[in-house]
Structure 1
């Protein structure tokens, strides 16, 4: 990790850091429908760039288009069972009994995910405010997100999980995958952020995220990272303010 004095820029993930993770909503949905733990999370990830979820996050789909495609993909037993069996094998887990029938309502699952992602992580918000007040750092957000359909009410179902004005105001820059057309862990998204923030070297940046795949991508570019922020929310506080 770089010396504290050399850090100029802090980049925060949103879902799973500033607000609760949508993965919690996925896990709740899995339990409610008798699915193995992380079954749907694996199904989402395994789709790669062709997945409805991934397309939504780079602005390739509107929510109105997304729901049906998402539900169809999450209900695809052949693809999803194969992906989960592969996941279990790679992670040396015993593969549980896999579903033989499955019909996922894409909108219902999405609403469950975004309900979780609408809950603030208050200790982290307090930390960000203190960091801003110090005047020492540029504070940015780098988030995989989606756009609300034009004309939809801010308080409606489609707004669930979208960052509020209150959250956006915490940051000097709020960098959104759905606006840029790139998403984490694509290194080009990180490079875009570094350029936008006028960073001279990735060594002067600390990136905070709850997903290892995103942290590894940042580290490959030379960016400092901190993980497991929700488990140890003040490890970052102690690190930056060791001189206090």
Structure 2
């Protein structure tokens, strides 16, 4: 994505961009506990705007027993379960047509929207050893994980993902085989047949799921995070302002995930000139107001440094969730889609946008 001039500011999402995506933890949980693929994302996204996850990311509730009680209730919503089951039974009513494509979040963020194939060992990073082949039942492809949902960004806040993708989402429901009573008929099942064949709601431990997502999203992305560190090395006057715009959650006081004791080189929060966290400001993506707030902070900082100010069109925004990028585009920002399993591509686009070298030579040679 070449631009006519270097941006004045670069805004990064955290989960699924600077750190690993929690969607992979969701897929692992679903596979291990025989939960239908996509159900967890569906339940969280369709609980918006006032589900427990969304309220946590807006800082309206604390991460305590009441939150986990509410989160469990959202994951066992019978009405949503019927809708979800029906979407799989009806070949014409695909999941992407019924799911709200915006609601999962950033723990320093959690996320979504991915490639059509699993990442290769090379895509995971040259420094990371190959993972052993999973001999458990087939797991969903990354494209099925990558819905326009927002899970979350944890970097004190933890929890949160088209640029060029269509606004109707990116994942489809083709899992009729998960139910022995699935119908091959293209017409919607009548109410009676749906009730008769509806399987029981999965027994999901919301608290265990939540912490597995948070833990997975602690690790830095092998391509985007090093690029961020490289940008950070450029003298302030010669590089764009670096900002984070992330859906987040706030951990309890004293919790180790607050990252207060992390080394600066491994803490995403320490790399930005401006950090806009949903749980701190009471707004969350894709609400346009949180983007406007970020631009206001960037504008103020630039003027304090003697600059002429920053407008939305002066910004490049990286995110892995389509709906979040769509809002940014609507406000005039340039966007880069970060694809799950292919995050190095976003670094290449960022190099084109800034004119800066952000990838080490070993990685660059492997990706050319």
Q: Matched residue of 1:197: which SS?
A: helix
Aligned pairs for 1:69-218 within 5 A: 69-83=70-84, 85=87, 88=95, 90=97, 93-96=173-176, 97=179, 99-134=199-234, 135-150=238-253, 153-155=254-256, 159=257, 166-198=267-299, 200-218=310-328
Report the Cα distance in structure 1 between the residues aligned to 2:43 and 2:281, rounded to whole angstroms.
25
Report the Cα distance in structure 2 between the residues aligned to 1:103 and 1:54, rounded to whole angstroms.
22
**Moved beyond 3 Å, runs of 4+:** 91-95, 160-165, 240-244
Q: Which residue of 2 aligns with 1:28?
A: 28
Aligned pairs for 1:57-76 within 5 A: 57-64=57-64, 65-76=66-77
Structure (1/2) with the larger helix percentage: 1
TM-score, normalisation: structure 1:
0.87
Larger Rg: 2
Q: How many residues align?
A: 239
Describe the shift of the 1:189–1:228 C-alpha distance in structure 2 as closer, same or farther (beyond 3 A): same
Q: Matched residue of 2:243: which SS?
A: strand
Ranges in structure 2 where 5+ consecutive residues have no aligned partner: 88-92, 98-170, 180-197, 300-308, 358-368
Tell me the alpha carbon deviations over residues 26-51 of structure 1, each in whole angstroms, 9 at most, x when there is no partner: 11111112122221101111111111
Q: Displacement of 1:189 after TM fit?
A: 0.7
Q: Displacement of 1:95 after TM fit?
A: 5.0
Ranges in structure 1 where 5+ consecutive residues have no aligned partner: none
Report the Cα distance in structure 1 between the residues aligned to 2:63 and 2:200, rounded to whole angstroms.
28
Report the Cα distance in structure 2 between the residues aligned to 1:59 and 1:89, rounded to whole angstroms.
28
